[in-house]
Amino acid sequence: MITLPLLPLSPSTILPTKAHPSDACFDVFAHSKTITDTYIEYGLWFATEIPHGRCALIYPRSSLSKTDLILANHVGVIDAGYRGERKMRFRVHKPMHAWADREPVLYEIGDKIGQFMLVPLQETTILIQDTLASSERWTGWFGSTGT
């Protein structure tokens, strides 16, 4: 078992939780919301000390489909050395038919807005080659294995 040191940044921080012990990720909650012209940033109000040899990946939750948001960087990667507050940035992605009809659906303070997990890292080095081994797929580009 891995222990993740976590620093709440406020007495009212809602700590990351798992709904079930077997869940892959911890759910995280919105504590602050900053709206700009280009994104909406939610502060999670905690920091962590990720163990050496691991990183954290932050993903949107499936509830994202009930909003008009899309995670700005699609998957957040947090390296072990980063100690600042965890945050998530979203962009508004409203269906075109809804632009004039209603305000966008956003997450609100206190909502579960994302999930994170720790993953082990494999130390990797790059080896420059003159050629690569052939493969069945080779360079088929986008969609080359079918729909």
Check if the beta carbon of residue 32 is closer than 8 Å to that of residue 94.
no
Question: What is the DSSP code string of 72-104?
Answer: TTSSEEE-TT--S--EEEEEE---GGGTTTSPP
pLDDT for position 140:
64
Structural domain for 60, as ranges: 25-120
Number of structural domains the chain divides into: 1
Within a domain: 127 = no
Kindly report the CATH number assigned to the domain that includes residue 81.
Answer: 2.70.40.10
Output the pLDDT for position 98: 54
In a domain, 125, yes or no: no
Q: Domain for residue 7, yes or no?
A: no
120: Cα within 13 Å, side-chain hemisphere: 4
- Residue 114: inside a domain, yes or no? yes
Answer yes or no: are the C-beta atoms of 59 and 25 closer than 8 Å: yes
- Note whether 48 and 87 are within 8 A (CB): no
Compute the distance between CA of residue 113 and CA of residue 49 in angstroms, rounded to an integer.
21
Q: Categorize the per-residue pLDDT at 9 as very low, low, confident or very high, splitting at 50, 70 and 90.
A: very high
Amino acid at the residue 7: L
Which neighbouring-strand residues pair with 70?
91
Answer yes or no: is 89 within a domain: yes
Per-residue pLDDT reduced to its tens digit, 20-77: 999 999 999 999 999 998 999 999 999 999 999 999 999 999 999 999 899 998 899 9
pLDDT of residue 78: 96
In a domain, 129, yes or no: no
pLDDT digits (tens, 9 = 90+) for 111-141: 999 999 999 999 999 999 999 888 776 666 6
Please tell me the distance from the alpha carbon of residue 17 to that of residue 62, in angstroms, as a whole number: 16
At 37 the pLDDT is 86
Round to whole Å and give the CA distance between 122 and 135.
24
pLDDT score, position 56 = 97
pLDDT in tens, 67-110: 989 999 889 999 999 999 999 999 988 655 555 667 888 999 99
Whether 143 is in a domain gets the answer no
